[in-house]
Amino acid sequence: MKMEDKKRRDFIKQIAGLGVLGIAATAGIYFAPKLKADEAILRPPGAVEEDAFLDLCIKCGQCLQVCPYDSIFLEGVKGGASMGMAYIDPTKRGCYLCEAFPCILACPTGALDHESDTIDKVHMGMAVIVNENACLALKKENVPSKAIDKIYDHTKILSKKEHREHKVIMRGDESEKEELQKKLLQKLENFRDKSCTICADLCPFTPNPQDAIGMVSKNGGLIPQIREACVGCGACVELCPTQVLKVVPNATYEDIYGKGKQNG
Ligand code: SF4
Ligand code: SF4
Ligand code: SF4
C-alpha cells in the first residue's frame, strides 16, 4: 500500500470516529489540498467529484423538487462557497436509492452525472458504526416508540392527524411520493416496541440489501455488519433509533475496513 493511501485510510478511520462535523473541521488542515473540508459533504447520488460538482451545480433545486423522499436539501450560508448547492443530511433524511434515480435525470448540468444512473455506478460514501454500545440489537432491547415517532417528523407529506397520532392512513388516491413515504413508515411501524434490525432490514440497496449490510452475532446479541456493496445512501443513519451509524462521504469500503476484511 502506498504511503499516501495509508495516510488517507488512517485519516478516514479517524474522522469516522469523530463524526461528520469532525471531518469538516479536520480534513482541510490535515489533508489539504487533496481532501478538502467540503469533500465531507454528502452529495446526492451520481454527484461528480467534489471540485467538478462545485463548478457544475447551478443551485437550481431541480433534483430536490423531483426527489419523492424529500432527501435533498440546499446548503445554507454556512456552506460558504457551496451555499445553495445540493446535499443530503442523513440525520434528517437518507436517500432511498430510487430505481430510476429521478434526481440524476433532473439535473440539467451533469453535476449529477447522467451516466451514473444505475445502482452499480452510484457511490456516495460508506456507512460506519460509530456508537456500537448503543445498538439495541446488541443490548437486546426493543425499539422505543419515540424513535419511530421521530421519523414522522422527517416527512412532509402527512396530514396533521397522521402526524399528530403517528399513524399512517392510506387513502388509496396517494401520489407516488405520498405512497412511497407512507410505505416506508409502514415498514418502520413493524419495529415499534419490537427487537431492532431496522438498519439491515430497511437498507434500500438493490437487488440484495444483504450485500450492503447484514446482522451478525456478537456477545449474545446482534450487531450490523457493513459490507462492500454499501453505497453510503444514509437510510440506515436516518432510521437507526440510537444513532449507531454514520456515513463517511466519498469513502470506499477499502478506505474504512481495509481490503477483504470484515467488520462487525
Ligand atoms: S435516489 Fe431518490 S431518494 Fe435518493 S436523492 Fe435521488 S430522488 Fe431522492
Ligand atoms: S448500509 Fe445500506 S442503508 Fe446504510 S448507507 Fe449502506 S447502502 Fe445505505
Ligand atoms: S438500527 Fe441497526 S444499528 Fe441501530 S439499533 Fe437497530 S440494529 Fe442497532
113 and 145 share a domain? no
> Which residue range(s) make up the domain with 16?
3-122
114 and 142 share a domain? no
Among the candidates 122, 156, 191, a domain finishes at 122
At 47, the amino acid letter reads: A
Tell whether 263 is covered by a domain.
no
Nearest CA to ligand 2 atom 4: 236
C-beta of 214 in contact with ligand 3 (< 6 A): no
How many domains is the chain partitioned into structurally?
Answer: 2
Q: Which of 222, 182, 218 is nearest to 199 (CA)?
A: 222
Task: Tell me how far the alpha carbon of residue 119 lies from the centroid of ligand 3, in angstroms.
Answer: 24
Helices marked H in 67-108: 102-106
Helix or strand (DSSP H, E) at 239: helix 235-239
76 and 143 share a domain? no
105 and 216 share a domain? no
186 within 8 A of 176, measured Cβ to Cβ = no
C-beta of 198 in contact with ligand 3 (< 6 A): yes
* Ligand that comes closest to the CA of residue 231: 2
Atom of ligand 2 nearest to the CA of 232: 5
Q: pLDDT tens, 78-120?
A: 777 788 999 999 999 999 999 999 999 999 999 999 999 899 9
Among the candidates 90, 122, 154, a domain finishes at 122
Q: pLDDT tens, 52-69?
A: 999 999 999 999 999 999
Task: Tell me how far the alpha carbon of residue 64 lies from the centroid of ligand 1, in angstroms.
Answer: 8
Q: Percentage of the chain surpassing pLDDT 70?
A: 83
87 and 181 share a domain? no
For the cut 90, the answer to whether the pLDDT of residue 121 exceeds it is yes
- Retrieve residue 221's grid coordinates: 446479541
pLDDT band at 77 (very low <50, low <70, confident <90, very high): confident
Nearest CA to ligand 2 atom 5: 232
Task: Give CA 117 to chain center in angstroms.
Answer: 17
- The pLDDT value recorded for residue 9 is 55
* Ligand that comes closest to the CA of residue 209: 2
105 and 155 share a domain? no
- Retrieve residue 39's grid coordinates: 469533500
C-beta of 107 in contact with ligand 1 (< 6 A): no
Q: pLDDT tens, 146-164?
A: 999 999 999 989 999 999 9
State which of 130, 223, 236 you would mutate to test the pocket of ligand 2, scoring each by most atoms of that ligand within 8 A of its C-beta.
236
213 and 97 share a domain? no
Q: pLDDT tens, 159-212?
A: 999 999 999 999 899 999 999 999 999 999 999 999 999 999 999 999 999 999
C-beta of 253 in contact with ligand 1 (< 6 A): no
